[in-house]
Amino acid sequence: MDANKNINKETMMTHLEKQSTRNFVDFIWDDWFMSLKLIYVYQSEMANLTLQTIEYQKEVWTQITENTMKIEQEINKFFEDIKNDYQNNTKSPGGEQAARVFEEWNQLLNEFFKRIQLLTATPAMASLTTVNKSQEQMEASFKSLIEQQKKIREVKNKGEPLCVPGREVFSVDIL
């Protein structure tokens, strides 16, 4: 009878040790799997925040471009007004020689205004165009990357589940 008690105790202890080990492994596995799910949720949230940030940047650059174009138009109008005022103020009955001097000064003034416009407006517009194109390319790249990640997750989630003895857990992409 003592031998049966010892065998039952040993069997019981072995069973408890296996159960305890299994509970510990299940706990670790569940914790790991929940961490992967949390990473997936954070990844999705970061993708959404990135897209929102890109949209906001796009709006800001569009506004900057519009404002720069308005400033350029105002500068052009200002120079045109100065030119007209100059022409109106310098017209005098002075004969042919005064008309030639006036035309020379008028041409010099026109050249001056054109150069100022080239020095100020052209580089600014070229820079804004470059930034806007870069912004569009970055947006397209991020959207493409996010779509690729979604497709990879869909394919993996449709695939075979990961099998662990006594447990079945589906694969989760952490990218």
pLDDT tens, position by position, 28-86: 888 888 887 888 888 888 888 988 998 898 898 889 888 888 888 888 888 788 777 77
pLDDT at 164 exceeding the cut of 60? no
Classify residue 137 as exposed, middle or buried by CB count within 10 Å of its CB (0-12, 13-18, 19+): exposed
Residue 56, pLDDT score = 92
Provide mean pLDDT across the span 158-162: 53
Provide mean pLDDT across the span 148-161: 69
User: Could you give the 3-state DSSP secondary structure of residue 164?
Assistant: strand
User: Could you give the 3-state DSSP secondary structure of residue 94?
Assistant: coil
**What is d(CA 25, CA 20) in angstroms, rounded to the nearest whole number?**
9
Longest dimension (CA), the chain: 142
